Every structure is written in C-alpha cells, then in structure tokens.
Structure 1
Amino acid sequence: MARRPTIKDIAREAGVSTATVDRVLNGRVTVREETVRKVADAAHRIGYHGRGLIDQKLSPSVPAMTFGFVLHKGRQEFYRNFARAIEQAVAARRDVNGKAIIRFSTEQSASGFLTEIEAISGRIDALASSAINHQSVSREVQRLKSAGIPTFALLNDFAQGVRENYLGLNNMQVGRLAAWMLTKTARRPGKLAVFVGGNRWHGHELRETGFRSFVRESAAEFTVLDTLVNLETRKLTYEATLELLARHPDLQGIYVAGGGMEGAIAALRESRAPENVALVVNELTEDSRAALADGYVTMVISTPLEQLCHDMVDMMISSVRSGFGDTPGQHFLQPDLYLPESL
C-alpha cells in the first residue's frame, strides 16, 4: 500500500520548512498568502489528505464557483476515469474556490439526462454534459442560458447554436482514422462493420459518416455493412458480433464507434484467432489494453482526458466571469493513438 503523504512531504515539495507547513495548517501565526498558496499547490501535487483544510486558509477574495457535470455509463471504467479527471482539474485551480457536482444519467435518453440536469441546475454556475442530441435537451440548455448558466457539450455535441462550446475529438476525423487503420491492416479486402450507440449520439453519427466517406474515397475494394446499434452495451455488442462473424465469413474489420467494445473483444476471443479480424475501439481501459496486447484490438483511439478537463474548467470559468461568447464554438483535441507496440 502506498505511503500516505505527510507534512514533511509537503514541506519538501513546497521548498519551505515543516514549521511553516504546521503554521499554515493550524493558523497559530499569520502566514503570507503567497506562502499559503505555495503550500496548497504542493499539497495538491502530492495528494495530501488535508489539502482541503489548507485551501480554506487562502484569501476569501477568491470567488466560489460550482460546476455541474452530467455524464452517463457511471459503471464504465472510462466514465469513472472521466469523473476523477474532472475532480482533479477543478481542485487544481487556484483562482477560484471550485466545487464539482458530478452526476450520472441512468438512462441513455433525453429524460434521463434532463432529470440529472434539473436536479443540480439551481446550484451551479456552469454545466457540462455528455447528453444526447434531442430537442428537449436543447430547450433545457436554452432555459439555463436565459438564467445565465452556460452549458458545454462533452464528447457528443448537442444543442448546437445554443450551448456555449463543444469539447472533445473531431468525430468526423476519428471515423476516417478508424477506417484508414482497418483498411490498411485487414488481411484482404472484404466487409467492414460499424457499431454506434444510438441514433441520438451526434458524435457517433459523425464517426460513422467519416468512416464511410473514407472507404468510398480511398478503399472501394471494401464494403461497409449496415450500421448496427448496440446501445453502448457489452451484451448487445457481444451477441451482434458473434452473429456478424457467423453470417459474414469474409468480415475483415469492426469499428465500435462508441461504448460496448468489451462485447466485441469477448466475441473475437471466443471465435477467432488473434489478428484474424481487425478491430478499432475508442478509449484505453483495462479491457482494450489487454486486447491490444493479445492481438484482438488493432488500435485504440483515446480522448486525452486530462487536457480535456483542464480546458473545460478553464472555459467554464471564463464564461462565468465574462459572459457568453458571441458565437458557439468547437474545441477539438488531438486523440491519443495506441497500437500494440506502443504499450
């Protein structure tokens, strides 16, 4: 078990004495704000358990801001990692006394996201969500905007023209990248399959469009089958992949544009040898990392979560301070690409 950071560790990291750290923690003697901030930064860097207490010693002139986040698939490793990255990005800010409220929609429906958004809308200064694209969600974003609360779309764009900004990957580019990899690594020309989470995931639609456009333009010797909807679930993806493999012996590649990749990996492990069918998935997790190492995944296209959360919190603070932008924007990040030999 890792050793818990101590006052001595903070002092070493901050370049001050242990007595100074003790004074900051206990407040027995007035300490300059610059020194308190240096100690607070060090405490956050090393993960000191009492860093919240140190933060309270900072000047009360630092404004308080509450950021709301509504994600989905709270049991999936990627979204758990996302939530941790959000908390770390908010805690790292020293220009605000930030608080993150993170909730997960239990349904991949407009009503599921709206329930969670409405539950926190009265307590937040800005909102970011991975919600689906739906007119009822757009209406809620407009209501929040009228109340002075900016909304940011994460990973999947929604409420275009109303939300403040989209942050995530360029999904059209991601789809083309997946198609490039599959057509270059397939053993021979043949059929390709694409899974999307549902018809309301704007990001998945763009990935599918990019995938198909690349094949039409640059790999006409391949055929893309009808798109399959997996609701981002392991079970549906597993069953559909087994059926694909049985019905199409010449299937050469699969792209899972959203969640549910675990099902495709499990099906390939059961019915094919490594590298028999090329598979491209999104996000590096324990499952996708193991499948890369074992030859069942060809490439992982991953969202740089630390950078995304840093930029997102920065934009949320800016919008709260300066007001809404004149033109809703898009903030694209470069994906991290993982291949078997890059692990």
Structure 2
Amino acid sequence: MAKRATVADVAKAAGVSVTTVDRALNGRMRVREETLRKIAEAAHRVGYHGRGLIAHRLNVSLPHVTLGVVLVKGGQAFYRNFAQELEQAMTARPDIRGAVRISYVASQSPDDFAAAIQSLGKEVDALACVAINHQKLTAAVQDLKDRGVPVFALLNDMAQGVRTAYLGLNNMKVGRNAAWMLTRVAAGPGKLAVFVGGNRWHGHDLREVGFRSYVRGEAPQFSVLDTLVNLETRKVTYEATLELLRRHEDLSGIYVAGGGMEGAIAALREMRPPGKVSLVVNELTLDSRAALADGYVQMVISTPLADLSRALVGAVVDSFDGGSGEGAGQLFLEPRIILPEML
C-alpha cells in the first residue's frame, strides 16, 4: 500500500514550514495568498487528503467579480461561441472568483440595448457589450460609470469618452483588408458591393470606410455600389444579393461586413459558378467553411474570440486595480485570416 501523504510532505513540496501548512489547514492565522496557492498546488501534487480544504481556503480569500455581457442574436453560432469563451476565460483566472452573466438583445433598437445595459448593470461589478452607437446607450453607460461600474465596448465601439475601453479588431483595417483581397482575386474590374448590419454599428461604418478608401486610392478600376443594410439577417442578405446579381452583370465582388453572410453564399450558389463573383466574409462558421472549400468565399476574416475574452477579463480585473477608466482606452487584436488552402 502506498504511503499516505502527510503535512510534512506538503510542506517540503511547497518549500514552507509544517507550521505554515497547519495554519493554511486550520485558518487560525492568516496566510498570504501567494503562499496559500503554493501550498494548494503542493498538496495536489503529493496527493494530500486535505487538499480540498486548502483549495477552499484559497477560493474564499479571492475577490469575487461578476461580469455582465450584453450580446446580440443569441441564436447565432458566433455569439454562442463568444459566450462560451467568455465563461472559460473567467474560470481560468486564478486570482479571482469570477462569474459571467450573459444577456442577449434580439433587436437593434436603442431602447432595447439601453434597457439591457441598465438592467444587467444593476447586478454586476463590470459590464461589457456588443452594441450600436446611440446617445441613449451613452446615457446608460454614463449612469453605470457614475455608480462605479466600468463598461467595455466589444467588437463595435460605443459611448466613446464614457466607456472604459474598446476591445476588438481595428475595423478600418479590416475593411481595407477585405478590399485588398477582392480587388486582387476578382475575375476582372467591375462593381463591388458592401453589406453592413445597420447604420449605427460603429464597427461596420469603419469597415465600410476602410473598404471604400482602399478602392478609391489603390484600385480605381473598380467602383463601389451604394451600401446595403441587411440587419445581419440571412433572409435580407439573400434577397438583396439576388437583386444585385440580376441588376449588375459586371458585379465582381461582395463584402459582408457583419452578419448575414449565409444569405449571400446561398444566392451565389444559385446564380453564379464558384469564383465568378468573389466574396469576403467575417467569421468562420459551418457555412463559410463550406463556401471556402467550394470556391464561393475567397477569404474569411475571423475574430480571435478566445484572445478577446481573455483580454476582456484582464481589463476588468485591471480596472479594479487602479486602472484609469477615463474612456480613451482601446485594444486592437489581430484578426485571423483564413484562405481556402488553409482548410
């Protein structure tokens, strides 16, 4: 029978005295968090029977942080994956007892976004949101700031000058990258189309600006049609793409700057052979992966959700450790560029 690990074994493995381990076990005197963590790790390594008690003491000594996150379209795989990554990032932090509360907004109404921010903000220590840019949301964020609740904008910036920080992609560069690709892989010079989710999505606006500025300055042989709003829905994108293909025989490429790409893919499959009209979309899903493989999508610009989630949790913790919180901060993450040959 293997020898049962003792307090002395734990002390030796942790590099501390037996007395310190005893304090960690019985709680008669305070043990520093760093020391407590070393003891807990040592107890786990040697298989000490009381390691659960030490882990409990460590957990109790950590600060509790509840992060509220407002997302959109809970039925979309992208946002469900985002929610999972956020929860995993929070659980992985060893220095806090963290929890994530997710609220989904079904529409693009400023009132619905503001209501979600106000409601969830009453129940959490910090809040992050994927939201449109509107003065009603700015007022809601200001109210949270006045109550000491830091607010972080995700993917689309909002409440500039009030929110604590923006975390996401550099959307101007994303739009320029999309234009760079389309103007190089298109079958020939012609017309380009851009879809955005709505007129108040700040990130989509920047992607459109970046797209148009690149074409204007670097590929004047192409022209960009009037921007189409698809409300990030498959149905609207599908119908609008069919109309584009009927009206513009010289359509060379399409960029879907937000959601709804499934509709553009479906329309192209019906109306054009692979590669006849080039397509750039955001985020790798089952639909975009299949379209890449079949030649209907030429590039996917994907958000590194795991990196973004870890960065957000880190920013939240920092905001409680003396962060400035002056509303000017931003963190740009590098997108993942996915091409057909990378599958």
Superposition TM-score, scaled by structure 1 size: 0.85
CA distance 1:166–1:53, shift in 2 (3 Å)? farther
Other-structure match for 2:160: 160
Percent identity of paired positions between Structure 1 and Structure 2: 61
Distance 1:296 1:39 in 2: 55
1:36 is aligned to 2:36:
no
- Counterpart position of 1:7: none
RMSD over equivalenced CA pairs, Å: 2.1
Quote the offset at 1:323 in angstroms: 4.6
Q: 1:145 to 1:242 in 2, by over 3 A?
A: same
C-alpha spacing 1:240/1:303, structure 2 compared with 1 (3 Å): same
Matched residue, 1:192: 192
| Pair 1:120-2:120 in alignment | yes
CA contact (8 A) 1:33 1:59 kept: no
Aligned to 1:205: 205
Q: Relative to structure 1, is the Cα distance of residues 53 and 250 closer, same or farther in structure 2, using a 3 angstrom cutoff?
A: farther
Give the AA of the match of 2:174. V
The CA distance in 2 between the partners of 1:252 and 1:129, in whole Å, is 35
The one-letter code of the counterpart of 2:225 is L
Rg bigger for which structure? 2
Mind listing any 5+ residue stretches in structure 1 that lack a counterpart? Answer: 1-15, 17-28, 42-51
Q: CA deviation at 1:116?
A: 1.8
- The equivalent of 1:257 in structure 2 is 257
Q: Specify the alignment match of 2:90 in structure 1.
A: 90
Q: How far apart are residue 330 of structure 1 and its match?
A: 1.3
Asked if the contact 1:87–1:100 (Cα under 8 Å) also holds between the matched residues in 2, the reply is yes
Cα shift at 1:38: 7.2
Give the whole-Å Cα distance in 2 for the aligned partners of 1:153 and 1:53: 39
Q: Does 1:269 align with 2:273?
A: no
Does the Cα contact within 8 Å between 1:169 and 1:333 map onto a contact in 2?
yes
Give 1:106's aligned residue.
Answer: 106
3-state SS of 1:177 partner: helix
Deviation above 6 Å: which 4+ runs of structure 1?
Answer: 38-41, 52-55
2: distance between equivalents of 1:102 and 1:37? 32
- 2:19 is aligned to none
In 2, Cα distance between equivalents of 1:324 and 1:265: 44
Match of 1:46 in 2: none
Shift of 1:112: 1.6
Equivalent position amino acid for 1:107 in 2: S
1:270-317 Cα deviation digits (max 9, x unpaired): 111111110000011111111101111000001111111111100011
- Counterparts of 1:297 and 1:112, CA distance in 2: 34
Partners of 2:95 and 2:220 in 1: how far apart? 53
Aligned to 2:306: 306
Contact 2:160 2:327 in 1 (8 A): no
Tell whether 2:321 aligns with 1:321: yes
- C-alpha spacing 1:96/1:110, structure 2 compared with 1 (3 Å): same
What is the CA–CA distance in structure 1 between the aligned matches of 2:78 and 2:327, rounded to whole Å? Answer: 31
2:239 aligned counterpart, secondary structure: helix
Retained in 2: the 8 A contact 1:73–1:79? yes
Residues 1:210 and 1:62: Cα distance change in structure 2 (over 3 Å):
same
Over 3 Å counting, the alpha-carbon distance change for 1:37 and 1:264 in structure 2 is: farther
Q: Is the 8 A contact 1:198 1:230 kept in 2?
A: yes
2:61 alignment partner, SS class? coil
Q: Deviations over 1:189-221 (max 9, x none)?
A: 000000000000010000000000000001000
* 3-state secondary structure, aligned to 1:128: strand
Q: Contact (CA 8 Å) 1:40, 1:55: kept in 2 or not?
A: no
8 Å Cα contact 2:191-2:225 kept in structure 1? yes
Letter in 2 for 1:156: N
Contact 2:194–2:225, Cα closer than 8 Å, also in 1: yes
- What is the CA distance between 1:37 and its match in structure 2? 4.9
Unpaired segments ≥5 residues, structure 2: 1-9, 11-23, 27-35, 46-51
Look up the match of 2:220. Answer: 220
Output one character per residue of 1:131-184: Cα deviation in whole Å (capped at 9) or x when no partner.
110000000111100000110000000000100110000000000000000000
- How far apart in 1 are the matches of 2:321 and 2:212? 42
Equivalence map 1:230-241=2 (5 Å):
230-241=230-241
Question: Does the C-alpha gap of structure 1 residues 39 and 138 become closer, same or farther in structure 2, counting only changes over 3 Å?
Answer: farther
SS in 2 for 1:254: strand
The letter for the 1-side match of 2:145 is K
Structure 2 counterpart of 1:195, which letter?
Answer: F
CA contact (8 A) 2:25 2:54 kept: no
Q: How does 1:2-13 map to 2 (within 5 A)?
A: none
Deviation at 1:223, TM superposition (A): 0.7
**Structure 1 residue 74 displacement after superposition:** 0.7
Matching residue's letter, 1:103: S
Whether the 8 Å contact between 2:165 and 2:329 is mirrored in structure 1 is yes
TM-score (normalised: structure 2): 0.85
Residue 61 (structure 1) shift: 1.6
- In 2: Cα distance, 1:124 partner to 1:201 partner: 25
The one-letter amino acid of 2:185's match is T
